[in-house]
Amino acid sequence: MSILPKCQIRIKTWRKLSIFALLGLLLSWVVSCSTSNVSNGAPQTTSGSVSIEFWTMQLQPEFTDYFKELIGNFELENPGIEKVQVLLVATRKEVTDTYMATFQQAGLKVDVLEINSFALLRTIREQLRQFSQQEAAVLVDIEFDNTEIAMVVDGVPQFSRTVPIGTYQLQSAILRAMNLPASRDTQLLQEIAIPTMTVDAGRPSVINADQGTAAMLRVLGELTDELRRSIDFYLNQSENLEVAQILLAGPGGGLRQLDEFFTQRLSLPTIQVDPVAALSLEVDEEKITASQRPGLGIVLGLGLREVWHDV
C-alpha cells in the first residue's frame, strides 16, 4: 500500500531546470481503494524541465530538518542554479487521518490519496496545451459542499484554494426560498438552467427569476466573487500573465448555462470540461448526459494514474 510516505522525491532530467511552486494547504482529495500499489504522481509541465515534488501529510515540525538537509544536498549537487521553484503539496494531518479512518472502518485498503485538481488535469492535459506559458487557465471544480479553484500555468497548478460553496449550498438556497425541507439529493439542480443575464445600466440583471432561482443566484454571486478574488490575487503576484479561460468541472460544473453565467459576470471565456470527449471515450449518451460529464473528470483522472503508469 502506498499512501504518500513521509516525503517522496522524484527528479527527472531534461535540459533546463524549472521546479514549479504550489504553496498552501490543498484540502480536497480523491481516494482510490484497491489491492495494487500505485506510485505517487503529479502533472508534468509541457516544457522540458527537471521537477522536484514534495508530497507530505503535514510539514512542520516533523519534516523541518529533513527539508533543510534535502535543500542543502540539492544545492551541493547542482551548483550554479540561480532560481529554484518547488512544487509543494501538503494537507493537515487530521484531514488525512479522517479519510484513512473512514476507509479503514469500511474494510477498504487505500492505495492513493490525491488532490482533485491533479486528477482532473490528467483528463484535460491535451486541452491545456493550447495555452502558452504566459496564459493561465482557471480550473473550477464544483463539488457537493465546496469548490476548489486552481490557477494552472503550463499544465501545472500554481495556486489553489477551497471555498465552502458547492451544489448542496446552491440547492439549499432554492429549498429555503420555497419553504421546502432540506435534502442532500441535489438532483433538483440538474433540472435547472441558470437564467439568461442581460445588461441594465451597465450591470447584469436577471429576467423573470422566481424566489428560488433568485436565492440560488445570490449564492452563485458569492462564488463568483470568490473566483474573482482568487484570480485577482494570483495575477497581482505574477508578471506578464493573463487568464485565458475558466474551466468548469465537478458535479456542479455541468449545470446548464453556468458557463454563460461566469462568462458574463467575469468577462472571461468559460467552458464546461468534457473528459469523455477529451479521452475519446464511447458512452451511452442517454445514461451519461452532457451535464453529467464534467463530474466524471476526477474519477477518470484517478483511473488514468495507473493506466498511464504514474503520469
Determine the pLDDT at residue 179: 92
Alpha-carbon gap, residue 145 to 177, rounded angstroms: 19
CA atoms within 13 A of residue 88's CA, in its CB half-sphere: 14
Q: Which of 21-25, 43-47, 202-206 has the highest mean pLDDT?
A: 202-206
Alpha-carbon gap, residue 85 to 218, rounded angstroms: 39
Instruction: Give the residues across from 159 on adjacent strands.
Output: 151
Determine the pLDDT at residue 30: 44
Mean pLDDT of 123-145: 92
pLDDT at 211 over 70: yes
pLDDT in tens, 28-43: 344 444 333 333 334 4
pLDDT at 76 over 60: yes
pLDDT at 303 over 90: no
Apex 192 CA angle, 186 and 193, nearest 5: 135
Determine the pLDDT at residue 68: 82
Which pTM value belongs to this model? 0.73
pLDDT at 272 over 70: yes
Q: Please, what is the average pLDDT of the chain?
A: 77
Q: What one-letter code names the amino acid at 75? A: E
Q: Which residue has the higher pLDDT, 161 or 202?
A: 161
pLDDT at 46 over 60: no
Task: Please state, for a pLDDT cut of 90, what percent of the chain lies above it.
Answer: 33
Q: Which residue has the higher pLDDT, 61 or 30?
A: 61
Spatial contact of 54 and 9, defined as CB atoms under 8 Å apart: yes
Alpha-carbon gap, residue 208 to 104, rounded angstroms: 50
Spatial contact of 55 and 26, defined as CB atoms under 8 Å apart: no
Structure confidence at residue 222 as a pLDDT band (50, 70, 90): very high
Determine the pLDDT at residue 175: 93
